[in-house]
Structure 1
Amino acid sequence: MMIIKPGNNTDGLLLFLLEQENYPQHYYKYRNLIQIINNPNYLVYKLVLDNNLVGYFILMHSGDDFEIIKFTVKKTHQQQGWGGKMLTYLLTHFSFNSVFLEVNEHNFAAQKLYLQYGFRIVRTIPQYYGNENGYLMCYDK
């Protein structure tokens, strides 16, 4: 059974382990995740499948908009529609004018997902990911 619900402090370690697995070079530290979970300017939601954490996203309030700070699915569960389920939840359960995010220019799977759900590329951000460019993407209600 799939559930998407808010994350809390007890989820911090599982989020941290997923971060390490998916982003071995650039992951959020446990302490930072706990700070984000407890910060009212952020919303942390997790995707649980059969009592196992398989993904999560972090939104940051920016006026009437949200910025997707993190959107990730466990590698063993990617390309199975879970990202789409999280994105559908995000776009239908929150009140906002626009949702923004940055994505690596070479992350074609993520770009395809976001474009499929109505996001558009606003502009290129030179060297946003070190030597690689990023794209600023936006979804308007």
Structure 2
Amino acid sequence: MEEIRLRDAVEGDLPLIHLIEEKVYPAPWTLNFFRIIFHMNEDLFIVALDDERIIGYTVGEIETLGRKESPKKAGHVLNIAVRGEYQGKGVGTILLDEVEKRFRTKGANIAYLEVRESNENAQKIYRHRGYQYVRTSENYYGDEDGYIMTKKLDH
């Protein structure tokens, strides 16, 4: 494995990103859904490369929460995945750190994500990166509950 490099995703990356999604998740997003999310969040859609090969990705969005007179910004990690043979090698952590950095740049002071109840490996990584369990969202994934986890972002 060469040194991992990050770059912004481009639309031409989406078919390869979708292939990773299909291999990693039991209920993958469709390619068309990836296109929609890409156009809504281009500056928060990041790919990880080993040499020039896409080995992982993440995408986030900024949401405005709270009262109209004093809104707060939150970064929502919509999706993150790493090719099977690269899992456990820190690629997901590199991607997560980068999207959190971009959330901070956009004024977010909190990040949050959802994770399958059964995905204990991901939960462990998120806890190690400072995320805390907040609540369970019943049937979030249709076939399984999801845990909502949050992290305060230091500026």
TM-score under structure 2 length normalisation = 0.82
| Contact 1:100 1:137 (C-alpha < 8 Å) held by counterparts | yes
| Contact 2:62 2:103 (C-alpha < 8 Å) held by counterparts | no
The answer to whether residue 122 in structure 2 is matched with residue 110 in structure 1 is yes
User: 1:90: which partner in 2?
Assistant: 99
Q: Percent identity?
A: 26
Q: What is the aligned counterpart of 1:71 among 72, 77, 80? A: 80
User: 1:130: which partner in 2?
Assistant: 142
Letter matched to residue 17 of structure 1: L
SS for the counterpart of 1:115 is: helix
User: 2:10: which partner in 1?
Assistant: 8
Letter matched to residue 15 of structure 1: I
Q: Compute the RMSD of aligned alpha carbons.
A: 1.7
CA distance in 1, matches of 2:29, 2:145: 21
Report how far residue 131 of structure 1 moved: 4.1
| Worse-superposed segment, 4-13 or 110-119 | 4-13
Report how far residue 40 of structure 1 moved: 4.4
Letter matched to residue 117 of structure 2: E
Q: 1:3-42 counterparts in 2 under 5 A?
A: 3-23=5-25, 25-40=26-41
Which runs of 5 or more residues in structure 2 are unaligned? 65-72
Letter matched to residue 84 of structure 2: K
Residue-pair matches, total? 140
Indicate the structure with greater strand content. Answer: 1
SS for the counterpart of 1:27 is: coil
CA distance in 2, matches of 1:116, 1:55: 19
| Contact 1:4 1:48 (C-alpha < 8 Å) held by counterparts | yes
TM-score under structure 1 length normalisation = 0.90
| Worse-superposed segment, 62-71 or 28-37 | 28-37
